[in-house]
């Protein structure tokens, strides 16, 4: 049997083919990055280096898998009943490599500005509390990030689509550079660079501790971590319609494209608002 016998069918097929070529190729699409094969020795080296500065850090993806499995298996908390609220840096890498992408959980609701400091204030926390599903779960991921590049070490990162490395967290690196040059002065942060100046003032308050440390950027990142935690501790729960509050105080360690990101969890708790009990409260 030949298509020549079916001129109408032939026309339909040609039209379909042309539409795919013309419109399909014009449509803007984000190319899915090809997975990069990283030799096991290199990922082992990465894990060792990260754990020297952040003992107990684990691949972020594995942590997320275990967390969601544990929440459902032990507490029957379904992913679709969770709203992720994150006070993490505005850096795009926080989203492009986020292990929460493609999960059933809702969100994220973003609190974080530069460095992960929450600049949304009490209004942001209140708005978030009102968005959590009824009888659901508020999952707060709180913390700054730091890059670790196999070539550039701490504070650097090779990003998707770039041949060179860039700083990560750029905002913290910039504040630290100014601190090392003694060019931060005590003053109230102001526009047009309010968020960066807030980080600079924080660095200045801990100048001695940061500059005396082995890796100043790691020390500064951990200081920012505590500051973010403090600012995020006032989630309004009085009129909450949700049941659980899960808080993860952590540092996210971003690595070169193709390598797994890591998470160093300093504290993690699950609080049941109904029974007013901690179901889990872990501290490093
Ligand atoms: Zn950043």
In a domain, residue 224? The reply is: yes
Distance 229 CA to ligand 1 centre (A): 16
Task: Compute φ and ψ for 202, nearest 5 degrees.
Answer: -65, -45
Residue 66 lies in a domain: yes
What pLDDT digit, counting tens, does each position of 95-150 carry? 888 999 888 999 999 999 999 999 998 899 999 999 999 999 999 999 999 999 99
Let me know if residue 29 belongs to a domain.
no
Ligand 1 centre and the CA of 168: distance in Å?
6
| Ligand 1 centroid – CA 115 distance (Å) | 5
Query: 176 alpha carbon to ligand 1 midpoint, in Å?
Result: 13
- Look at strands 137-142 and 153-154 and give their pairing: unpaired
Distance from the alpha carbon of residue 13 to the mean position of ligand 1, in angstroms = 50
CA of 236 to the centre of ligand 1 (A): 27
Residue 30 maps to a domain: no
Question: How far does residue 93's CA lie from ligand 1's centre (Å)?
Answer: 9
B/e letters for 8-38, b = 16+ CB within 10 Å, e = fewer, are eeeeeeeeeeeeeeeeeeeeeeeeeeeeeeb
The rounded Å distance from CA 199 to ligand 1 centre is 11
Task: Provide the b/e sequence for 65-94 (b: ≥16 CB within 10 Å).
Answer: eebbeebeeebebebebbbbbbbbbbbebb
Please give the Cα distance from 264 to 140 (Å, whole number): 15
pTM: 0.86
Residue 107 lies in a domain: yes
* Residue pLDDT, tens place only, 56-76: 999 999 999 999 999 999 999
Angle of CA points 121, 266, 68, to nearest 5° = 85
Residue 259 lies in a domain: yes
User: How many angstroms separate the Cα of 116 from the Cα of each of 4, 38, 171?
Assistant: 65, 29, 10
Query: Which tens digit of pLDDT belongs to each residue from 76-86?
Result: 999 999 999 99
Please state the domain count of the chain.
1
Domain extent at residue 225 = 40-283
Q: How far is the CA of 218 from the centre of ligand 1 (A)?
A: 13
CATH value at residue 88:
3.40.1050
Bridge-based pairing of strands 82-87 and 137-142 is: parallel
């Amino acid at each position: 049997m030949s298509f020549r016998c079916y001129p109408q069918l032939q026309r339909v097929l040609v039209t379909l083919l042309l539409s795919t070529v013309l419109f399909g190729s014009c449509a803007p699409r984000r190319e899915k990055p090809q997975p990069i094969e990283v030799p096991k020795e290199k990922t082992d080296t990465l894990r060792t280096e990260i754990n020297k500065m952040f003992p107990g850090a684990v691949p972020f993806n594995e942590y997320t898998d275990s967390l969601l499995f544990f929440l459902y298996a032990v507490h029957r908390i379904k992913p679709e009943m969770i709203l992720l609220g994150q006070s993490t840096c505005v850096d795009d890498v926080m989203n492009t490599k986020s292990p929460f992408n493609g999960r059933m959980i809702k969100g994220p609701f973003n609190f974080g500005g530069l460095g992960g400091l929450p600049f949304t204030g009490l209004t942001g926390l209140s708005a978030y509390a009102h968005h959590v599903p009824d009888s659901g779960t508020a999952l707060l991921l709180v913390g700054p990030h730091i890059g670790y590049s196999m070539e550039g070490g701490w504070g650097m990162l090779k990003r998707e689509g770039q041949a060179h490395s860039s700083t990560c967290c750029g905002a913290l690196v910039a504040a630290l550079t100014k601190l090392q040059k003694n060019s931060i002065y005590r003053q109230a942060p102001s526009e047009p660079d309010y968020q960066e100046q807030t980080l600079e003032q924080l660095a200045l308050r801990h100048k001695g501790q940061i500059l005396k440390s082995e890796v100043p950027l790691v020390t500064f990142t951990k200081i920012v971590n505590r500051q973010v935690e403090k600012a995020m501790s006032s989630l309004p729960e009085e009129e909450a319609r949700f049941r659980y509050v899960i808080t993860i105080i952590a540092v996210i360690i971003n690595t070169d494209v193709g390598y797994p990101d890591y998470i160093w969890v300093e504290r993690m708790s699950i609080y049941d608002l109904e029974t007013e009990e901690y179901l889990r409260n872990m501290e490093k």
